[in-house]
Structure 1
């Protein structure tokens, strides 16, 4: 078993730490703000500084909200790169800009560290149950060395290539998620305006060849008006913006990412940032004139 430093105890980080502990690893953790942790994380030692959390650790796992947090936590005189043990491996699960991921890998290498960009697919439940999908970029030897530990938190673990490739593949997948979330919201708005009965509607959407886990799970929750956060809407907006910027950097026409970002911005402006990413549907229902019907059904 390993001694692991863990930075970031948000929705995803707490789930990952839970499964590392279940697998028998010792975890020393840090978070930028103080959090009350569930009983399942009682064996983790929570530290007040990054340096304390990673002291003596040959493996550090990072779970942050995006590029701004990465700059704050990884770089600078008190950042992870400055205080990590020489030769340590850093597995960064943050969804970020692929160019930044490659740059962070280069910075880490100059300091004698190994860096793997390893963003994940999944939300609160998948993180808690150890069923995340890891999408990794970096040196193959580094990936092979940490894969067994990643598997203790994962349903699947994938190697995509050099540094930045994991981050790039994550944005590819997130575009599919964002586009499906938008189209599902439009479809549910039409269905509700047409007076379709929710259970009958989901009964056939469950089994069609175009169905998906998102349609089956999020569809039911949105029809019930359940937008409890498993993955914050504000973070989905961040991801949509990253997708658009990445597409532009490649010269790729990706209008769907732009539409998704603007809709998510509108939902954020309505005050839905702390709700689930599916709260986009709350905005779409309102735009379609079905908000009162939803409220009456709660």
Structure 2
């Protein structure tokens, strides 16, 4: 979408993707040619590696938009590193599958300076349906992890409900007829029920990435006695240990078969 709008200065990926639009051979090259650098990688360690590659290219003309799913403590660290160069920093994780991104239905959770958020809105609106202003950078991270906890827990509950029905001899058609008329039916179940029904676990969001997010959430000091988080994290760990890490997190259902 950035390319279509004519605002894309360059792209880079840790795994080379020379067919990407405006592909560059290094993150530093992208950072030197762009005024806004948006980072979307797998985890805090990956964000750190990107920052180490681009920090010398940053100055007071640059803005770093950090869109990876990370924990609040990592956001503190990354923000400090970026601000030390004179550049500005916005914590801006997002939610939405690959099809949602292609349809510009991504939702950003923005934490940081209100003036910076307003300045970036014309750019981020090119690739998203909604941009929710949260508060500070730590809160943006916390909200994204909380949303992923919610969808993981829903997926585990759905998997157990379906398993209970199947063990009771209730077929897919009856189950679908019931769940679609239940108050718990959601956009998530609309997406995941066909995957489970058809046993097609091509990843929209993988087990390994959801497991990573639940580990990050579990490490937050605010967690306290959130027992469902611990349970979901354990189930995701079991799924990954059983070779399901690259499958969609709907494959949690396979642990119950």
TM-score under structure 2 length normalisation:
0.94
1:23: how far off?
2.8
Find the counterpart in structure 2 of residue 259 from structure 1. 231
* Partner Cα distance (1:278, 1:220) in 2: 10
How many residue pairs match? The answer is: 257
Structure 2 stretches of 5 or more lacking a match?
A: none
Q: Is the 8 A contact 1:227 1:278 kept in 2?
A: yes
Q: Is the 8 A contact 1:137 1:161 kept in 2?
A: yes
Find the counterpart in structure 1 of residue 65 from structure 2. 91
Q: Which deviates more from structure 2 when the two are superposed, residues 58-67 or residues 80-89?
A: 80-89
Q: Does 1:48 align with 2:3?
A: no
Of 68, 71, 75 in structure 1, the residue corresponding to residue 48 of structure 2 is 71
Poorly superposed stretches of 4+, deviation over 4 Å: none
Q: Which deviates more from structure 2 when the two are superposed, residues 89-98 or residues 161-170?
A: 161-170
The SS at the match of 2:10 is: strand
* Partner Cα distance (1:80, 1:33) in 2: 17
Structure 1 stretches of 5 or more lacking a match?
A: 1-18, 286-298
The 1:222/1:27 distance shift into structure 2, 3 A limit, reads farther
The 1:270/1:251 distance shift into structure 2, 3 A limit, reads closer
1:237: how far off?
0.4
Q: Is the 8 A contact 1:55 1:85 kept in 2?
A: no
* Partner Cα distance (1:202, 1:155) in 2: 29
The SS at the match of 1:268 is: helix
1:81: how far off?
2.2
Q: Is the 8 A contact 1:28 1:45 kept in 2?
A: yes
Q: Is the 8 A contact 1:131 1:153 kept in 2?
A: yes
TM-score under structure 1 length normalisation:
0.82
Q: Is the 8 A contact 2:10 2:33 kept in 1?
A: no
Of 167, 184, 189 in structure 1, the residue corresponding to residue 141 of structure 2 is 167
* Partner Cα distance (1:84, 1:188) in 2: 51
Within 5 A, what are the aligned runs for 1:220-259?
220-246=194-220, 249-250=221-222, 252-259=224-231
Q: Is the 8 A contact 1:58 1:85 kept in 2?
A: no
The SS at the match of 1:30 is: coil
